[in-house]
Amino acid sequence: MMAEDKKQQQAVEPLQVQELGDQEPGEQEAGSPVDLSDAPLVDLSDVGHAGRLSPDEDPVALLEAEAAALKDQLLRAMAETENVRRRAQREREDTLKYAAAPVIKDLLGVADNLQRALESVPEDLVAENEQMKNLRLGVEMTRKELQAVFERHAIRSIDPLGEKLDPHLHEAMYEVEDPSKSAGTVIQVIQAGYRLHDRLLRPARVGISKGGPKGAAADTAANGEASKPGDKVDTQA
């Protein structure tokens, strides 16, 4: 019996080898760990221009050009996003910095009234009346405290007496003939101006000189000195 079984096993083995030998080269036995097929490892059917390439076109160069174009678009999008972020941050900072501007504008009238109250009290009355003196002192202390609060919050007053008229900061209310001052010089401040940080809250209302000399001639006339021929010699020539 053992001899007969051995003969049957030897007869089956050649048949199995023959069956494996009859497989096509591209076929793979199920469960085999080795890929014996002729299919490409990477599918390039979806790559742009892959089906429209002429014999003279280099697919690598086309892919590099597409990659460069996509990189340029990415950089532009990132730059635009950064610009939007910075603009939003700047607007947020400005909103926080100038959020109190409406309230401050209302308080400017309080500061003006305190200043007018001090200017309306004659000095001789203050010297004669002790109660008036104390009242004036209290008003002065209140005005100083309000100005200190303004300073702590970057609120600066504009007092341009003696300066040249600046239309960005000053508002000219009238002109006065004054030959001793150059034309456009502030000779009186009617109402002080204010600004919050670098933003103007209220321009200073001023009176300016009219018809006087200009520039260095005005300074010479104010000092009472007239230049004479030969007083100034140019030694830089």
The answer to whether the CB of 210 falls within 8 A of the CB of 179 is: no
Q: Where are the domains of the chain?
A: 156-225
Angle between helices 101-119 and 130-152 (to 10 degrees): 150
**pLDDT for position 3:** 53
- How far apart CA 171 and CA 60 sit, in angstroms, is 70
**pLDDT for position 105:** 92
**pLDDT for position 18:** 45
Which structure tokens are listed for 100? 């109190």
**pLDDT for position 210:** 87
Largest CA distance in the chain: 150
The answer to whether the CB of 192 falls within 8 A of the CB of 210 is: no
Q: Is 51 helix (H, G, I), strand (E, B) or coil?
A: coil
**pLDDT for position 174:** 92
Which structure tokens are listed for 55? 């014999």
Q: Model-level pTM?
A: 0.56
For domain 156-225, give the CATH superfamily: Head domain of nucleotide exchange factor GrpE (2.30.22.10)
**pLDDT for position 17:** 42
Per-residue pLDDT tens digits for 179-222: 888 999 999 999 999 999 999 999 999 999 987 665 444 455 44
Per-residue pLDDT tens digits for 59-76: 788 888 899 999 999 999
- How far apart CA 176 and CA 89 sit, in angstroms, is 48
Residues of the chain with pLDDT under 70: 1-55, 212-237
